[in-house]
């Protein structure tokens, strides 16, 4: 069943066209990985989906409803986001980061929110860090709190914008392993990531974005083994070479 | 008479009048409290309006700030005392405080402090990274909720050093209420050494009240430092 449909989306900043006629569809439980060079519009595309950025043209449908017909807060409750820089609320503990949305957005009573938060922290392997403040956590732990915070809202789709790029290499694994578990459990995920191991094993589809356009899109086997475009081969080859 | 500095008899005179000076100290403390209170209650929203407001309200707030910060405090206090249509409010017995003068002084010191506190708070809000707002919005919080639950709590913590600074300034500046005869510490000090034959005690009286100002600033700052530590959040000031 189609959960997300992006249709002919255009987006410019001033004279610079950042997204050009971007269209694709995701089914429930899909894991879509977006790759592309720096500045190709990956973050912009993700941000258009939860309306942190507004599109200029085209349409985006979540479960059949055009997202601009929805209340933006309602949309964002249904579409979670995980950031490259984690963006944890610095003044709140790990638990407090997760409870804030539960309390303020969902109106959950305190005790229920705390119990729920602890469940999600446990799911990302941080049951013992519930009382820690972000500054007391490693990058990998912070990002897992970020994931728990997004998950706790029970979104239909989660956007990941390079969730491991800010991490030291030895901390990447713990975050990817959480993401892999989510994928296995059937979470619908739209991920910008250059972790090719994750893409190969977890992605239902990979989209290669260059200069605001979708160059090629397909299952990982096709893109890695037999891409249609030379540019795709070159880019993925380079990524694989780096790792 | 040759005013010999710091003679024992003049210190004796200060000691004899400790109660008289204590009443002035009470007025100074009260005036500091009302002024800082007014400054906080006005300055805090004003800082928020400077960041999040728009249109005429924002323009009005920032103009008021520029005017208040650009006017000497003595001028403000005299202007408010003689210029505002404040009713005669009578005098508080014992403290011998003219209520009209007290209100005028509170308005002048309070609003001037508000203008500075607004800057402190504005700067603190602007120092909070964009990502905090985005993260709050991304879980479905409204802008209002995000400001209230994510931005303000962090901005207030970052404002504490600036507020602390403001406290010291306001405490010492209460002495300009001297210009409108309000019976605070400096005014009472003057009343002492202007008594006939007491002009030798000017230095002693002024040193004594300076010590009072110092003790008040020092102990309050230490208390605030302590509270700051107790309520600190790891990494909260980065
Ligand atoms: N708010 C903005 N205002 C102006 N230009 C912007 C803005 N956000 C992004 N851009 C521009 O849009 C282009 C695409 O940016 P975007 O962040 O989407 O790229 P990206 O693929 O995520 O890159 P990276 O891999 O570096 O994160 C870039 O040229 C960027 O400079
Ligand atoms: Mg990006």
pLDDT at position A242 is: 63
Q: Whose CA is nearest to atom 12 of ligand 1?
A: A18
Distance, CA of A211 to CA of A18 (rounded, Å): 7
Which one, of B120, B122, B106, B114, lies nearest residue B68 by Cα? Answer: B114
Instruction: Check residue B229 and give its pLDDT.
Output: 86
**Residue A184: which residues within 8 A CB-CB, separation 6 or more?**
none
Please tell me if the CB atom of residue A237 comes closer than 6 angstroms to any atom of ligand 1: no
Domain with A92, as residue range(s), is 2-242
| Beta-carbon pairs below 8 A across chains A and B | 83
User: Does A70 touch chain B if contact means CB atoms closer than 8 Å?
Assistant: no
Is 50 exceeded by the pLDDT of residue A65?
yes
Instruction: Please tell me the distance between residue B64's alpha carbon and the centre of ligand 1 in angstroms.
Output: 39
Please give the average per-residue pLDDT across B136-156, as a whole number.
96
Ligand 2 geometric centre to CA of A103 (Å)? 30
Number of domains in chain A: 1
Res A185: pLDDT: 96
**Spatial separation of the C-alpha atoms in residues A8 and A149, rounded to whole Å:** 31
- Chain A residues in contact with B131 by the CB 8 A cut-off are 83, 85, 87
Average pLDDT of the residues of chain B: 93
**Does residue B188 surpass a pLDDT of 50?**
yes
| Residues less than 5 Å from ion ligand 2, measured at CB | A 43
Q: In this structure, what CATH number is given to the domain that contains residue A113?
A: 3.40.50.300
pLDDT of B117:
97
Question: Contacts by A220-227 with C-beta closer than 8 Å and gap 24+?
Answer: A220/A33, A224/A196, A224/A200
Q: pLDDT (tens digit, 9 = 90+) per residue, A146-155?
A: 999 999 999 9
Residue in B closest to A152 by C-alpha? B139
Q: For the sheet with A57-62, list strands across it.
A: A16-27, A2-13, A57-62, A65-66
Which class is B8-230 in CATH? mainly alpha
Whether A214 contacts chain B with CB within 8 A: no
DSSP single-letter state for residue B148: I
> Do B98 and B106 meet the contact criterion of CB atoms below 8 Å apart?
no
Would the CB atoms of A149 and B139 count as touching at under 8 Å? yes
Q: Which residue has the tokens 């309602």?
A: A74
Q: Which atom of ligand 1 is closest in space to residue A162's alpha carbon?
A: 27
The number of the ligand nearest the C-alpha atom of A12 reads 1
Instruction: Give the residue from B149, B150, B70, B162 showing the smallest Cα distance to B122.
Output: B162
- Strands A157-161, A79-82: pairing is parallel
Sign of CA dihedral B42, B48, B50, B53: negative
Q: Which residues contact B102 (CB under 8 A, 6 or more apart)?
A: B27, B30, B31, B34, B92, B182
3-state secondary structure of B237: coil
Tell whether ligand 1 has an atom less than 6 A from the beta carbon of residue A38.
yes
ipTM field: 0.94
Is residue A153 within a helix (H) or strand (E), and if so which, with residue range?
A: none
pLDDT, residue B236, reads: 60
Summarize pLDDT for A193-229 with one digit per residue, the tens. Answer: 999 999 999 999 999 999 999 999 999 999 999 999 9
Ligand number with the minimum distance to the CA of A239: 1
pLDDT per residue as tens digits for the range B52-67: 999 999 999 999 999 9
pLDDT in tens, B113-132: 999 999 999 999 999 999 99
Of A73, A83, A136, the CB nearest to B140: A73
Per CB-CB distance under 8 Å, the chain B contacts of A85 are 131
Q: Cβ atoms within 10 A of the Cβ of A15, count?
A: 5
Q: What is the mean pLDDT of residues B190-214?
A: 92
Q: How far is the CA of B128 from the centre of ligand 1 (A)?
A: 21
Instruction: Summarize pLDDT for A10-63 with one digit per residue, the tens.
Output: 999 999 999 999 999 999 999 999 999 999 999 999 999 999 999 999 999 999
pTM of the model: 0.89
User: What are A86's two structure tokens?
Assistant: 């984690």
Q: Searching chain B, which residue's CA lies closest to the CA of residue A83? A: B135
SS3 B232: coil
Whether A165 is in the pocket of ligand 1, judged by its Cβ within 6 Å, is: no
B contact set with A (CB within 8 A):
129, 131-132, 134-142, 145, 149-150, 153-154, 157, 233-236, 238
Of B134, B141, B236, the CB nearest to A90: B236
Give which of A104, A129, A138, A149 to mutate to test B binding, by max B Cβ within 10 Å: A104
Q: What is the pLDDT of residue A243?
A: 57
* Dihedrals phi, psi of A60, to nearest 5 degrees: -130, 130
Contact list in A for residue B134 (CB cut-off 8 A) is 52, 83, 87
pLDDT, tens digit, 9 for 90 and up, residues A90-142: 999 999 999 999 999 999 999 999 999 999 999 999 999 999 999 999 999 99
Determine the pLDDT at residue B1. Answer: 47
- In this complex, which of B134, B137, B233 lies closest to A133 when CB atoms are compared? B233
User: A105 vs B234: CB contact, 8 Å cut-off?
Assistant: no
Nearest to A134 among B139, B142, B235 (CB): B235
Question: Do the Cβ atoms of B138 and A52 come within 8 Å?
Answer: yes
A104 in B contact zone (CB under 8 Å): yes
The helix/strand/coil state of A34 is strand
pLDDT of residue A1: 83
């Amino acid at each position: 069943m189609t959960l997300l449909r992006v249709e002919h989306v255009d987006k410019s900043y001033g004279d610079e066209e950042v997204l050009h006629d971007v269209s694709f569809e995701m089914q429930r439980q899909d894991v879509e990985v977006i790759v592309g060079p720096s500045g190709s519009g990956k973050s912009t595309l993700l941000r258009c989906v939860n309306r942190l950025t507004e599109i200029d043209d085209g349409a985006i449908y979540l479960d059949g409803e055009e997202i601009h017909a929805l209340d933006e807060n309602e949309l964002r409750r249904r579409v979670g986001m995980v950031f490259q820089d984690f963006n944890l609320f610095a003044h709140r503990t790990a638990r407090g980061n997760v409870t804030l949305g539960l309390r303020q957005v969902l109106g959950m009573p305190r005790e229920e929110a705390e119990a729920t938060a602890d469940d999600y922290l446990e799911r990302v392997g941080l049951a013992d860090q519930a009382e820690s403040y972000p500054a007391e956590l490693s990058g990998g732990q912070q990002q897992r709190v970020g994931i728990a915070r997004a998950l706790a809202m029970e979104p239909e789709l989660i956007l990941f914008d390079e969730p491991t790029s800010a991490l030291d290499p030895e901390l990447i694994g713990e975050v990817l392993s959480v993401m892999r578990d989510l994928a296995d459990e059937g979470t619908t995920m739209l991920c910008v990531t250059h972790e090719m191991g994750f893409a190969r094993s977890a992605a239902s589809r990979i989209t290669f974005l260059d200069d605001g356009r979708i160059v090629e899109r397909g299952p990982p086997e096709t893109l890695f083994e037999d891409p249609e475009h030379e540019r795709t081969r070159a880019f993925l080859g380079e990524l694989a070479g780096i790792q | 008479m040759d005013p010999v500095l710091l003679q024992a008899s003049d210190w004796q005179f200060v000691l004899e009048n400790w109660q008289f000076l204590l009443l002035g100290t009470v007025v100074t403390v009260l005036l500091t409290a009302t002024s800082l209170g007014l400054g906080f209650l006005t300055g805090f929203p004003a800082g928020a309006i400077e960041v999040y407001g728009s249109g005429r309200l924002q323009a009005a707030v920032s103009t008021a700030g520029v005017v208040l910060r650009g006017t000497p405090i003595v001028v403000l206090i005299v202007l408010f005392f003689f210029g505002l249509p404040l009713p005669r409010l009578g005098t508080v017995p014992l403290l011998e405080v003219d209520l009209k003068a007290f209100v005028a002084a509170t308005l002048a010191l309070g609003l001037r402090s508000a203008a500075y506190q607004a800057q402190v708070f504005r700067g603190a809000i602007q120092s909070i990274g964009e990502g905090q707002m985005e993260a709050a919005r991304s879980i479905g919080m409204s802008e209002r909720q995000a400001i209230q639950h994510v931005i303000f709590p962090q901005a207030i913590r970052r404002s504490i050093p600036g507020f602390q600074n403001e406290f010291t300034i306001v405490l010492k500046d209460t002495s300009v209420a001297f210009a409108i005869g309000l019976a605070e510490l400096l005014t009472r000090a003057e009343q002492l050494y202007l008594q006939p034959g007491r002009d030798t005690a000017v230095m002693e009286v002024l040193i004594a009240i300076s010590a009072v100002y110092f003790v008040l600033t020092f102990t309050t700052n230490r208390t605030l430092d302590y509270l700051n530590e107790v309520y600190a959040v790891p990494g909260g000031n980065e």
